[in-house]
Structure 1
Amino acid sequence: MRISNQWLLEWVDHGLSPEELGHRLTMAGLELDALEAAAGEFSGVVVGHVLQVEPHPDADKLRVCQVEDGSGSPVQVVCGAPNVVEGMKVPFARVGAVLPGEFKIKKAKLRGVESFGMLCSARELGLAETSEGLMPLPLDLAAGADVREALGLDDTILEVDLTPNRADCLCMAGIAREVAALTGKPLCMPEISPVGADVDERFPVSIEAGADCPVYHGRVVRGVNPGAETPLWMREKLRRAGIRSLGPLVDVTNYVMLELGQPMHAFDLAWLEGGIVVRRARKGERLTLLDGQEIRLSEADLVIADHAKVLALAGIMGGEASGVGEETRDVFLESAHFAPMAIAGRARHHGLHTDSSHRFERGVDPALPSRALQRATALLCQIAGGQPGPVVEALGARVEEPAPIMLRASRIVRVLGARIDESEVTRLLKALGCQVEPMAGAWRVTPPSFRFDLSIEVDLIEEVARVHGYDRLPAEVPPLSPELGAVDEARLPLSRIRHLMADLGYQEAITYSFVDPQLEALFSPDSRPLALANPISSELAVMRSSLWPGLVKALKYNLNRQQERVRLFETGLSFVSQGDDLKQHPMIAAVATGARWPLQWAEPSRAMDFFDLKGDVESLLSLAGGDVSFASAVHPALHPGQSARVLLGGVPCGWLGALHPSLISRLDLDQDVYVMELSLDGIRQGSVPKFTEQSRFPAIRRDLAVVVDRDCPVSRIEAAIRDLGISALREVVVFDVYTGKGVPDGRKSLALGLILQELSRTLTDQEVDAVMQGIVKKLEQDVGATLRA
């Protein structure tokens, strides 16, 4: 919204500099984007009165003019403008004047005739981008008067960026209301009186789409003067607001929109047939707009039509055929209220954005059409003459009145942390147009019809805060009475788990919770993922049931960019459908590929394998403590011979393994990829460390080599040994696995190191031998182990 400071001063004498005014508006939530001058820099330009115009003796397109400039004697000027005539008043740049662009006026001789100055167009003064001739000035201006002063060009334009909820400030009335409330100065709104009918002619109006158009006002104006010109004061106000003058019939409607905030439209009455109908477009209808663009209408479009054809796209743009022009003598003025939801998105659908749609999409005061129509009628008749007919009105659905809101003084203190005087609260709300009824410690506030954004108590508190001034609220730390809950000492913070993964060489990734349905099916073919009703794209159409798809996709992205060694992990939710419910499980997952160690000199390079990832998982699970074990199991996404179920305390808590070869091929990967996924709930529930007495007596180690079936897991052997409940047993270590010569087919040799130690005494050889015999016997019974010869 572009605001002329001079125009604003006609409404409220705020007494602020443009910079101060911009700051006050910004602090009130109407952000100032820019300050700029209303006109280019020029000096030495005065009002010139053209006394005489004669043809140039040696040039057909030049004229020799005698111009009165207030100096007491006429000045001779050679001019090439086609519209120069005797008696007109125009800007005259005297010799020595400086125009925009540092263009200095000097005495010149054009085709042998001396010229002492220049008659100027609006473009030459920086007041327009283009112009077809001299800029005519009002005849009541005194010759010799400085043009900058005469036209009020020493003005500042404030460009304010408005949030979508403040459509009421898309006009001078709204901005002036805000400034009056901010400064406490009186608001001087123009008096709008009803304009009576001079002719008894009505053009019928009806509404078929009542919910989309609750109010429609219109009136005929006969006999307007097609040769009338828009007065300079109105053209200047339009220009400073960024709107080009197009003649009085259009300029009046644009001026009322800028002044009051009500978009309007003028139809050429000669093109209307039967009556006005506000309705939805019918399939197959077309409309050529004022800009020459032809659009195909749909039933989603709200249109203004007569009994024969579509006239305009309601609230957006009029049609070319029924638009006013240089030959228009009779007009039908339209002033209507359109529901925001009926207009929202329709302009964008047709590739349009107009001042009208910008306002109606955000909401226009439903009480405004009648006042705007009276204002436009008065201005049009004043400028172009004409005889207005009676106002015709059609009503659609009833517009709901704003509901009263209770505002409590105690609530203001609680929310703002400041106590604002009750009289000041009343003044601020009334200045914003609210009806305020003071009560005991509260107010009953009815918002005005133009404030659609005020509906609950905190909305009013926000209004009080911003108009009072956010910068005037005290900066205090509120008293804090924290209630500390009990903290589970055994619960591991998520940050500790993340730090451990980083210590192990993994980098944290964050992927979408939405995944490609085809990729999801590769990793979890048996699951039924939840499909999104409105996905961002087809590749993000279902909720993930595992973190693997997103991580593997990220791993592939890195591999395609010459990152041969990749370690990624992620913590997040998986979404699993269980009947009609959707369960969300916090998980941690990781993917890894490439060399076991970064390139170095101390260790030979080798590719990582299943046991490398298993070691990382064991490090992670060691945070929780407890009994960790791994069981060979089959997962559709994992290699049949390199996959394992992870058990914590005997309860399954996740998976680890290598990606299935067919999956590697489907994903177009050229190296082995290892993955793991664990439930965070199980990992995070650790144990509180307890004191354990350290023995002062020596430990004894005995090694044991046994031969067992090749598919017998070490965990089963360790469990059998611990089932004996040997109090002196401190640790069981597997330090060698062997298959080959000397070991029967289908069997393997395991070398175990057993560490024995008592707290109160030194173990004897006899006691250790008895323990070892018991262990050998137990292993023979439970796993079919034999001592290796």
Structure 2
Amino acid sequence: VVKGVNVKADSPLWLTEKLRRSGIRSIDPIVDVTNYVLLELGHPMHAFNLAAIEGGINVRMATAGEKLTLLDETEVELKDNTLVIADDNKALAMAGIFGGLHSGTDENTTDILLESAFFHPDAIMGKARQYGLHTDASHRYERGVDPQLQATAMERATQLILEICGGEAGPVVEAVSESDIPTRAEVTLRKARLAKVLGIDIAADTVSEILARLGLDAKETDEGWVATAPSYRFDIEIEEDLIEEVARVFGYNSIPNQAPVAALSMIPATEKQLSVNALKSVLLNRGYNEAITYSFVDPKIQNALFPESNGLVLPHPISADMSIMRVSLWPGLLQATSYNQKRQQQRIRLFETGLRFVPDAEAPNSIRQEPMLAGVVAGRRYDEHWDANDKPVDFFDAKADVEALLALTGKEKTVTFNTETHSALHPGMSAAIYLDDKCVGWLGAVHPQFSKQLGTNGRVFVFELELAALTDRKLPQAQPISKYPANRRDIAITVKQTVKVGDIIKFVEKIGVNQLVGLNLFDVYTGQGIADGEKSLALSLILQDPGKTLEDAEIQAAVDSVIQGLESEFGAALRE
């Protein structure tokens, strides 16, 4: 406590000038002194108006719902994980982060209470970001301050205040929780390890001298050194830290340049294993760009897209909107889509490979990490061109890209797209992707209700596939090419609207027409001449025999077999 101070005194020119050159404006002599001590010693301090304190001083956790008006006049509702400095009735300041307006010094202050404290980094880390704050004090406390510097900082601040503002200083009251004060552990530096990492033998006497110059308490042993770092060197904790310090003081220029030498072993390529680069090449050739997004995403976006998932929440996130581990690659890609659309990009095709983090009680650390491949398609179907139409992409553009990926597996015959609903996708434009009767991914249009939250424009289509399913390839079997001509026959049938084209194609491929080597849907029509509730499908059949030229009768028999099968299985009728 310092009583009888004159807060209206002018801060000396040398003090205000040093603060100005450090980017800090002068406020009043009390605040200027605490800011100067922060710069001079690297230790944050705070001055309270003694008249605003009711009773004693307590350091405690905030109670849920407790409110505090900060020095910048903003009011925050404190969370119960926030450490506060309080009197007997109320919180006075957020410990190590920001002071309170009520207990701050003003022009009427005559008595002050100086606070110089050590707070463990774990108690402060991430707390400022919860409130959207970042202060000089929180910046230092999060990284650690010297636990032996509090008394020195207090004496220095008291000296300056008495010189500038006058007053009478009282005794220093010290409260210590020994269990929370970090102790410096011994770190072993091995001579062999030092030589191996640096690639040079440094004399033992030289190393001992360097460690001593750094303020380390080091003892030499037969194998190396055992050193204890001073309290202000929080960055020295492991052997590699000591090696770095020795190299830095010895001089990087004194270490000769040598090319690294390592034994390389060739890993045999497994033909059955499809490389990720092969999958990427397919998408790159189809006009995509590869994106790399953060594995931690905005919980609001993820919870909206995947309300049934409970992602892993980070205890110390970079920011509040990057505080949860992704359960899908879609949130990052959709934010990238929004970013590009806001910069007038009219055609967007992005893909990403990476891990998703799915809660699983049976997995290590209760998190299952799965490699995924995801993509997003939006905007124009083609690049702007004088001879290209201006049609936007649709569901089938994205589906074609997914089919191109699945074709690399050699298992395209076992791929099905089943109409199913997904919380993030439009119910009328979504499909679950099955490979060998196992769901390996999803495809569809992002639900319109999320457009405003995501900041996207127009239809946005996404897909996501398990990489493990894509990289497991069926080995192709070589077959001779027939030297006999192929024959094409087109048929047009009408079926109910509910009949899936995929089911028709799979049925035709299985009915046993040996000469059928190609099948393609080239037209879908509804309207005049077609009954309500029905649609017209035009199919091309490519027929070829490996051993002879097919005669017209054989071709017609094969076509008739297909038509009869479609009539019996789907109630199809041949259009005249």
The TM-score bracket by the shorter chain reads 0.5 to 0.7
Q: Does 1:589 align with 2:375?
A: yes
1:465 deviates by 1.9
Q: Which has the higher strand share?
A: 1
Larger displacement relative to structure 2 (500-509 or 471-480): 500-509
> Is contact 2:119-2:141 (8 Å) kept?
yes
Question: Can you list the C-alpha shifts for 1:651-688, whole angstroms capped at 9, x where unaligned?
Answer: 54444456678889999999666554433332233355
Pairing of 1:102-117 with structure 2 (within 5 A): none
Q: Does 1:636 align with 2:421?
A: yes
2:237: which partner in 1? 455
Q: 1:440 to 1:487 in 2, by over 3 A?
A: same
Pairing of 1:320-339 with structure 2 (within 5 A): 338-339=118-119
2:466 to 673, 676, 679: 679
Q: Does 1:732 align with 2:515?
A: no
Secondary structure, aligned partner of 2:544: strand
1:616: which partner in 2? 401
> Is contact 2:410-2:474 (8 Å) kept?
yes
2:176 to 396, 401, 405: 396
Question: Can you list the C-alpha shifts for 1:219-246, whole angstroms capped at 9, x where unaligned?
Answer: x9xxxxx9xxxxxxxx99979966999x
Secondary structure, aligned partner of 2:372: strand
Quote the Cα distance in structure 2 between the aligned partners of 1:665 and 1:336: 48
Q: Does 1:471 align with 2:471?
A: no
Q: 1:591 to 1:421 in 2, by over 3 A?
A: same
Count of aligned residue pairs for this structure pair: 528
Question: Can you list the C-alpha shifts for 1:332-353, whole angstroms capped at 9, x where unaligned?
Answer: 999976446589999999x997
Amino acid at match of 2:465: L
> Is contact 2:445-2:461 (8 Å) kept?
yes
1:754: which partner in 2? 543
Q: 1:747 to 1:302 in 2, by over 3 A?
A: closer
Amino acid at match of 1:753: I
Secondary structure, aligned partner of 1:681: helix
> Is contact 2:484-2:549 (8 Å) kept?
no
> Is contact 1:572-1:586 (8 Å) kept?
yes
Secondary structure, aligned partner of 1:713: helix
1:600 deviates by 3.7
1:111: which partner in 2? none
1:21: which partner in 2? none
1:129: which partner in 2? none
1:183: which partner in 2? none
> Is contact 1:343-1:360 (8 Å) kept?
yes
Amino acid at match of 2:194: I
Quote the Cα distance in structure 2 between the aligned partners of 1:408 and 1:561: 55
Amino acid at match of 2:402: V
Q: 1:338 to 1:585 in 2, by over 3 A?
A: closer
Q: 1:703 to 1:554 in 2, by over 3 A?
A: same
Q: 1:611 to 1:756 in 2, by over 3 A?
A: farther
1:716 to 507, 514, 532: 507
1:489 deviates by 3.2
Question: Can you list the C-alpha shifts for 1:377-423, whole angstroms capped at 9, x where unaligned?
Answer: 999999xxxx999x988563345653333221112112322221100
Secondary structure, aligned partner of 1:717: helix
Amino acid at match of 1:412: L
Amino acid at match of 1:502: L
Q: Which has the higher helix share?
A: 2
Quote the Cα distance in structure 2 between the aligned partners of 1:568 and 1:430: 55
Q: 1:606 to 1:333 in 2, by over 3 A?
A: closer
Pairing of 1:353-372 with structure 2 (within 5 A): none
> Is contact 1:311-1:319 (8 Å) kept?
no
Quote the Cα distance in structure 2 between the aligned partners of 1:358 and 1:643: 47
1:369 deviates by 7.1
Secondary structure, aligned partner of 2:237: coil
Q: 1:787 to 1:559 in 2, by over 3 A?
A: same
Larger displacement relative to structure 2 (625-634 or 657-666): 657-666
Q: Does 1:412 align with 2:197?
A: no
Quote the Cα distance in structure 1 between the aligned partners of 2:446 and 2:40: 69
> Is contact 1:517-1:541 (8 Å) kept?
no
> Is contact 2:519-2:539 (8 Å) kept?
no
Question: Can you list the C-alpha shifts for 1:20-61, whole angstroms capped at 9, x where unaligned?
Answer: xxxxxxxxxxxxxxxxxxxxxxxxxxxxxxxxxxxxxxxxxx
> Is contact 1:632-1:643 (8 Å) kept?
no
1:68: which partner in 2? none
Secondary structure, aligned partner of 2:188: strand
Q: 1:344 to 1:543 in 2, by over 3 A?
A: closer
Secondary structure, aligned partner of 2:486: strand
1:529 to 309, 323, 348: 309
Pairing of 1:149-228 with structure 2 (within 5 A): none
> Is contact 1:721-1:778 (8 Å) kept?
no
Q: 1:641 to 1:414 in 2, by over 3 A?
A: same
Pairing of 1:572-587 with structure 2 (within 5 A): 572-574=354-356, 576=358, 582-583=367-368, 584-587=370-373
Amino acid at match of 1:446: T
Amino acid at match of 2:507: R
> Is contact 1:655-1:677 (8 Å) kept?
yes
1:529 deviates by 1.9
Quote the Cα distance in structure 2 between the aligned partners of 1:617 and 1:741: 34
Question: Can you list the C-alpha shifts for 1:703-725, whole angstroms capped at 9, x where unaligned?
Answer: 55667672351221012236xxx
Q: Structure 2 unaligned segments of length 5 or more: list them.
A: 7-11
TM-score, normalisation: structure 1: 0.49
Amino acid at match of 1:719: K
Quote the Cα distance in structure 2 between the aligned partners of 1:751 and 1:371: 89
Quote the Cα distance in structure 2 between the aligned partners of 1:672 and 1:459: 52
TM-score, normalisation: structure 2: 0.63
> Is contact 1:643-1:655 (8 Å) kept?
yes
> Is contact 2:313-2:324 (8 Å) kept?
no
Larger radius of gyration: 1
Quote the Cα distance in structure 1 between the aligned partners of 2:303 and 2:115: 56
Larger displacement relative to structure 2 (442-451 or 256-265): 256-265
Pairing of 1:33-44 with structure 2 (within 5 A): none
Pairing of 1:86-97 with structure 2 (within 5 A): none
1:497: which partner in 2? 279
Amino acid at match of 1:454: I
2:568: which partner in 1? 784
Amino acid at match of 2:469: G
Amino acid at match of 1:529: S
Amino acid at match of 1:505: G
Instruction: Tell me the C-alpha RMSD between the 2 structures.
Output: 6.6
> Is contact 1:731-1:755 (8 Å) kept?
yes
Q: State percent identity of aligned pairs.
A: 32
Quote the Cα distance in structure 2 between the aligned partners of 1:555 and 1:361: 34
Amino acid at match of 2:413: V
Q: 1:376 to 1:590 in 2, by over 3 A?
A: closer
Q: 1:575 to 1:709 in 2, by over 3 A?
A: farther
Q: 1:467 to 1:563 in 2, by over 3 A?
A: closer
> Is contact 1:708-1:747 (8 Å) kept?
yes
1:501 deviates by 2.0
Secondary structure, aligned partner of 1:500: helix
Q: 1:577 to 1:236 in 2, by over 3 A?
A: closer
Quote the Cα distance in structure 2 between the aligned partners of 1:520 and 1:252: 47
Quote the Cα distance in structure 1 between the aligned partners of 2:256 and 2:445: 61
1:612 deviates by 4.4
